[in-house]
Chain A
Amino acid sequence: MSFFLGWGREITLGVFLTIVTALMSLSFGIVIGLAVALLKRSTRNWLKVFGDAYTTVIRGTPELLIILFVYFGSTIAISKLASLWVGKETWITPPVLVSGVIALSVVFGGYAAESIRGGMLAVPVGQVEAAAAFGLSSFQSLFYVKIPLIWRHSLPALGNNWLALIKSTSLISLISMEELMRKCTLAANDTSHYFRFYLIAAGLYLSLTGLNVYIIHRLEKKARQCG
């Protein structure tokens, strides 16, 4: 692999770590998004205010700032706690994978909350009433009527959030997590072939997003068919 100048293996590892980070952030982020979407729909005022504040702050702040904050913030917080515990000044940096995934999940949660909320608003009342009229329990109505409909309506927006998340994983290279972007930067610095390695990074991200555009299309097609 002369084109990769001996960095092929490292970059492959980087791609793998990028995919793992993205999938982990997706799963935690969906949970956060669902919780915040429910908060935003809550009838209790203070819960709604909290949900609205969360999405406003997360969606109004650059992801890079949030990533840096989680990185520095967790270091300071954990070091302070550890210093109290041990009784003298100690310095602990949590693993970058942890702060990276936390930051990306928090951000994805904010965007996903809006997408899921949109899906919830799109559920026709008539369908839910029909489910009740047929004698479905609230549990059955949730699983057989509401969730498939919410899924169908929020999938296009969630798909866009997911594509943005894949691209955002490149930002955690800046807190020196060794994913695809970081590996390419290291390779570029090592060989001084900057353009080549950033082009490789671009190509790999492009294939990742392209593949996922295809997957999302398939899922959307399937979601429209059932029911």
Chain B
Amino acid sequence: MDIFIDNYRLYLQALVTTLSLMGAGLASGFILAVPIGLLAIEGPRPIRFLTTIHMTFFRGTPLLVQVFMIYYGLGQIDLVRHSFLWTVFKEPFFCAVLALALNTSAYTANIIKGAVLSVPKGEVEAGQAFGFSRLKLYSHIIAPSALRLFLPAYGSEVIIILKATSLASTITLLDLTGLAKNLMSRTFRPFETFFITALIYVTLVFILTRIFKIIESQATPKGEEF
């Protein structure tokens, strides 16, 4: 326990790094995922094909490859190195957030696609029979119904991204895992270090699970059976 007491400032900083990586990655990933998921259903054929490539690539390769490709790979390309892009691409924090965002956008878009396609056909047809426009169909019928299918799956994705932020430690960032690695090799006490760090992650997962339980119960109308 004294490892934690001695280094509580470092732990606090690492916690902030982990949480800001997660927050920034999830927020930008979600903003990307909504149009990608909808275009995967509604878009013209070539666009649909592009969304399939995006989802296959980011879901089929390890996140570590994606992180290294962005951090080491893009920095090597002249176009990136000798332009304004370099000011952001030389920052490991930006590269980590970009990798997380692209990765989670593929998974989240897939969840959105699945949720929208699972909306009962009858509900959509009923809306069409009432003469709803495509936009109104989405906002009044598909979105509320798809949201209930989307939330549980997205809850797991959020937890996966929390754990995925640990890969930022491979590109020099000191997040919780990066700090644990430093402490393990410096203090030669891997057991305590591991248990303290694991406890922090498990607590975060527990809190996130609780938050999603509450949101899910809010999204389900009271007194109705689904």
Contacts and interface: CB of A to CB of B under 8 A. Distances in A.
B10 to A, nearest CB: 16
Interface string B171-202: 00000110011001100111101100110011
A62 B14 CA distance: 15
B72 A194 contact: yes
A198 B193 CA distance: 32
B56 A206 contact: yes
B62 A167 contact: yes
Interface in A185-199: 185, 188, 192-195, 198-199
Contacts of A61: 163, 197-198, 201-202
A62 B60 contact: no
A173 B73 CA distance: 17
B73 A205 contact: no
Contact of A60 (B61, B68, B191, B202): B202
Contact of A198 (B68, B176, B180, B198): B68
Contacts of B206: 60
A205 B62 contact: yes
Nearest to B71: A194
A115 B181 CA distance: 30
Contact of B164 (A60, A62, A195): A62
A63 B169 CA distance: 13
Interface stretch (A44-52, A67-75, A133-141): A67-75
B75 interface: yes
B184 A171 contact: no
B205 interface: yes
Interface string B26-67: 000000000000000000000000000000110011111110
A96 B167 CA distance: 19
Contacts of B163: 60-63
17 contacts: A61-B163, A62-B201, A63-B166, A65-B166, A65-B180, A65-B197, A69-B194, A76-B190, A167-B61, A181-B62, A195-B72, A195-B74, A199-B69, A202-B66, A205-B60, A205-B61, A206-B56
Interface of A: 56-57, 59-65, 68-69, 72-73, 76, 167-168, 170-171, 173-174, 181, 185, 188, 192-195, 198-199, 201-202, 205-206, 209-210
